[in-house]
Structure 1
C-alpha cells in the first residue's frame, strides 16, 4: 500500500520534474541555437517569432521547475524517510531469492517474479534524484542498495527490462567519488566484497546485453547507456582490486561475454569516429559557405537560417559522438595494453588489424588535413590524443603481422611516432 501511494504521489511528482527538466534543457538548446543563427546574420521575421516563442516557453518551464524543486528537493527529511522505506523493500525483495548471496539461483522464484516492476523502478529513480542533491545521502547507509544493484544488474532472468538495469548503472554512476562528492562512496566501490567480486563482471555483461533493448530507439539508447558503463569501468580500472577482477574475467570469459564486449567496443569506436569525421566534413562545407561573405549574403535569409540551424545541429551531434569515441578508444587502449590475449584470438585478429588500419587512415592518412576545423576543442576532436592512445595497441602488431591474410603496412613504432608529429589540429 505504501509503495503504491509513493508511486502515485512522490514518484509521479519526480517523474514530472524529470520530464520538465528534460523539456527545459531541450528548449534552451533550441533557443540558444536560434539566437546563434540570428547573431550570425539571420534576422527574418519568422526567426524573431521563433525566438520570442521559445523565450516564453523557457520562462514557463523554468517557473514550473522551480516549483517542483521547492516542493520536492527542499524537504530532505521526507526524502530520507522515502529512501528508508525503499531500503526495507529492497531487503524484502532480496530475501525472496535467499538473501545477499551470489550467484543468484538459476531459476527465478515465483514470489520475486510477481513483484510489480514499479517497486524496483521507483527505488532506482529516487536514488538517482537524491544522488544529485548535495549532501542528501551524506548520512545514509547505501550498502544494501549497492548489493541489490550488483546482484540484479547483470541478470536477465530476474529483471528482464534492460532500461531498469540501465537505471541501476545510472545510480552507480552518480555514486562515483569524483561525482558524488562523498568520501563514503569510495569505500563502497573499493571495500565492498560483493562489489569487488561481481561489479566489473556484471557491467561487462550489461554492456553486451544492451545492444538489443526491444525499443524502437534501441540504436541510440545503447550509446547513452554504454557511456555510463564506460565511465564506471574507467574508474574501476584504476582500482587495483577491480583491475585484477577484470583480468580474471577476461581469462574466464575469453570466448564468451568478454569477446562479445570487445566486439561491441570495436564496433562502437569505428561507428562513432566515422560518424563524427563525416559530420566534421559537412561542418567544414558550411563554414566555407559562410566564409565567402559575398555569395553567402546573396542567399535568401530563410536559406541562410536553415543552413545555420543544420550547422548548430551537427555541432551538437559531433560533440556527443566524439566524446563517446574518445572514451571507447581510450578503453581499447588500456585494455589491449594490459590484457592483450583476447585481441589475439583467431576470431579477433582480423578485426583488430582492420581497426588499427582504419584509425590510422582516418586520423593520419591523406584526408587528415581536410578535417581541420576552426575550433576542434569545441567538438572534442582531439586527433593527437587519439593517436597517442592507438599506439598503446602497438604491442599487438608483431603478433598480428605474421598472421595469414593480415595486412598491417603501417604498424611499426617509428611510423606511429612520425604520424603523431605530423597531425594537423
Structure 2
C-alpha cells in the first residue's frame, strides 16, 4: 500500500520533474541554435517568431522546474525517509531469493517474479534523484542498494526489462566518487566484496545484452546506456581489485560474454567514428559555403537559415558521437594493452586488422586533410589522440606476426609510424 501511494504521489512528481527538466534542456538547445542562426545572418520574420516562442516556453518550463525543486529537492529529511522505505523493500525482495548471495538461484522464485515492476523502478528513480543531491545521501547507508543492483543488474531471468537494468547502471554512475562529491561512495566500489567479485562481470554482460532491447529506439538507446557503462568500467579499471577481476573474466569468458563485448565495442567504435567523420565533412562543406560571403548573401534568407539549422544540428550530433568514439577507442586501448589474448583469437584477428586499417585510413590516409575544420576541439575531434590510442599498433602488432590478417596491417603501418 505504501509503495503504491509513493508511486502515485512522490514518484509521479519525480517523473514529472524529470520530464520537465528534459523538455527544458531540449528547448534551451533549440533556442540557442536559433539564436546562433540569427547571429550568423539569419533574420527572417519566421525565425524571430520561433525565437520569441521558444523564449516563452523556456520561461514557463523554468518556472515549473523551480517549483518542483522547491517542493521536492529541498526537503532532504523527507527524501531520506522515502529512501529508508525503499531500502526495506529491497531487503524484502532479496529475502525472496535467499538473501544477499551470489550466484542467484537458477530458477527465479514465483514470489519474486510477481513483484510489480514499479516497486524496483521507483527505487532506482529515487536513487538517481537523490544521488544528485549530496545532502540527501549524507550519513545514509547505501550498501544494501549496491548489493541489490549488483545481484540483479546482470540477470535477464530475474529482471527482464533491460531499461530497468540500465537504470541500475545510471545509479552506479551517479555514485562514482568524482561525480557524487561524497568520499563514502569510493568505499562502496573499492571495499564491498560482492562489488569486487561481480560488478565488472555484470557490467560487461549488460553491455552485450543491451544490443537488443525490443524497443523501436533500441539502436540509439544502446549508445546512451553503453556510455554510462563505459564510464563505470573506465573508473573500475583504475581499481586494482576490479582490474584483476576483469582479467579473470577475460580468461574464463574468452569465447563467451567477453568475446561478444569486444565485438560490440569494435562495432560501436567503427560506427561512431564513421558517422562523426562523415558529418565533419558535411560541416566543412557548409563552412565553405558561408566563407564565400558574396555567394552566401545571394541565397534567399530562408535557404541560409535552413543550412544554418542543419549546421548546428550536425554540430550537436558530431559532438556526441565523437565523445563516445573517443571513449570506446580509449577502452580498446587500455584493455588490449593489459589483456591482449582475446584480440588474438582466430575469429578476432581479421577483425582487429580490418579495424586498424579503417582507423588508419580515416585518420592518416589521403582524406585526412579534408577533415580540417575551424574549431575541432568544439566537436571533441582529436585525431592525434585517436591515433595514439589505436591500440593494436602499440600492443598487438608484435603478436600478430605470422598470423592470419597481418597482410591487412602491413600496408598502413608505415604510414602510421611516420606520423608518430
If the length of structure 1 is used for normalisation, what is the TM-score? 0.97
Partner SS state of residue 50, structure 2: helix
Quick check: 2:393–2:413 contact (8 Å CA) kept in 1?
no
- The alpha-carbon distance between structure 1 residues 339 and 419, as it changes in their structure 2 partners (threshold 3 A), is same
- The alpha-carbon distance between structure 1 residues 251 and 391, as it changes in their structure 2 partners (threshold 3 A), is closer
Give the drift of 1:316. Answer: 0.1
Give the drift of 1:412. Answer: 8.3
Deviations 1:48-83 (Å, cap 9, x if unpaired)?
000000000000000000000000001111000000
Distance 2:257 2:57 in 1: 47
- The alpha-carbon distance between structure 1 residues 259 and 391, as it changes in their structure 2 partners (threshold 3 A), is closer
Quick check: 1:363–1:387 contact (8 Å CA) kept in 2?
yes
Give the drift of 1:417. Answer: 3.7
Distance 2:355 2:284 in 1: 26
Give the drift of 1:404. Answer: 3.4
Deviations 1:174-198 (Å, cap 9, x if unpaired)?
0000000100000000000000000
Deviations 1:281-327 (Å, cap 9, x if unpaired)?
00000000000000000000000000000000000000000000000
If the length of structure 2 is used for normalisation, what is the TM-score? 0.98
Quick check: 1:394–1:412 contact (8 Å CA) kept in 2?
no
- The alpha-carbon distance between structure 1 residues 198 and 391, as it changes in their structure 2 partners (threshold 3 A), is closer
| Deviates most, 407-416 or 287-296 | 407-416
1:301 aligns with 2:309: no
Distance 1:263 1:391 in 2: 15
Q: Partner of 2:384 in structure 1?
A: 384
Give the drift of 1:402. Answer: 1.7
Distance 1:273 1:187 in 2: 36
Distance 1:391 1:219 in 2: 26
Quick check: 1:401–1:408 contact (8 Å CA) kept in 2?
no
Partner SS state of residue 135, structure 1: helix
Distance 1:242 1:109 in 2: 30
Q: Partner of 1:180 in structure 2?
A: 180
- The alpha-carbon distance between structure 1 residues 370 and 410, as it changes in their structure 2 partners (threshold 3 A), is farther
- The alpha-carbon distance between structure 1 residues 162 and 409, as it changes in their structure 2 partners (threshold 3 A), is closer
Deviations 1:308-354 (Å, cap 9, x if unpaired)?
00000000000000000000000000000100000000110000000
Corresponding residue pairs, total: 420
Quick check: 2:350–2:404 contact (8 Å CA) kept in 1?
no
Distance 1:82 1:362 in 2: 52
Distance 1:419 1:411 in 2: 14
Give the drift of 1:401. Answer: 3.9
Distance 1:252 1:195 in 2: 18
1:10 aligns with 2:10: yes
Deviations 1:238-296 (Å, cap 9, x if unpaired)?
00000000000000000000000000000000000000000000000000000000000
Distance 2:87 2:200 in 1: 24
Quick check: 1:394–1:411 contact (8 Å CA) kept in 2?
no
Quick check: 1:154–1:202 contact (8 Å CA) kept in 2?
yes
1:354 aligns with 2:354: yes
Quick check: 1:336–1:393 contact (8 Å CA) kept in 2?
no
Distance 1:205 1:391 in 2: 23
| Deviates most, 94-103 or 392-401 | 392-401
Partner SS state of residue 216, structure 1: coil
Q: Partner of 2:312 in structure 1?
A: 312
Quote the RMSD (CA, aligned, Å): 1.1
Quick check: 1:397–1:412 contact (8 Å CA) kept in 2?
no
- The alpha-carbon distance between structure 1 residues 166 and 49, as it changes in their structure 2 partners (threshold 3 A), is same
Q: Partner of 1:65 in structure 2?
A: 65
Deviations 1:163-182 (Å, cap 9, x if unpaired)?
00000000000000000010
Give the drift of 1:409. Answer: 4.3
Quick check: 1:37–1:305 contact (8 Å CA) kept in 2?
yes
| Deviates most, 54-63 or 391-400 | 391-400
Distance 2:337 2:405 in 1: 23
Distance 2:177 2:392 in 1: 27
Quick check: 1:343–1:349 contact (8 Å CA) kept in 2?
yes
Partner SS state of residue 334, structure 2: helix
Quick check: 2:134–2:182 contact (8 Å CA) kept in 1?
no
Distance 2:114 2:391 in 1: 51
Give the drift of 1:415. Answer: 4.6
Quick check: 2:96–2:111 contact (8 Å CA) kept in 1?
yes
Give the drift of 1:397. Answer: 1.3
Give the drift of 1:135. Answer: 2.2
- The alpha-carbon distance between structure 1 residues 363 and 272, as it changes in their structure 2 partners (threshold 3 A), is same
1:87 aligns with 2:94: no
Quick check: 2:33–2:309 contact (8 Å CA) kept in 1?
yes
Distance 1:392 1:140 in 2: 45
Quick check: 1:20–1:61 contact (8 Å CA) kept in 2?
yes
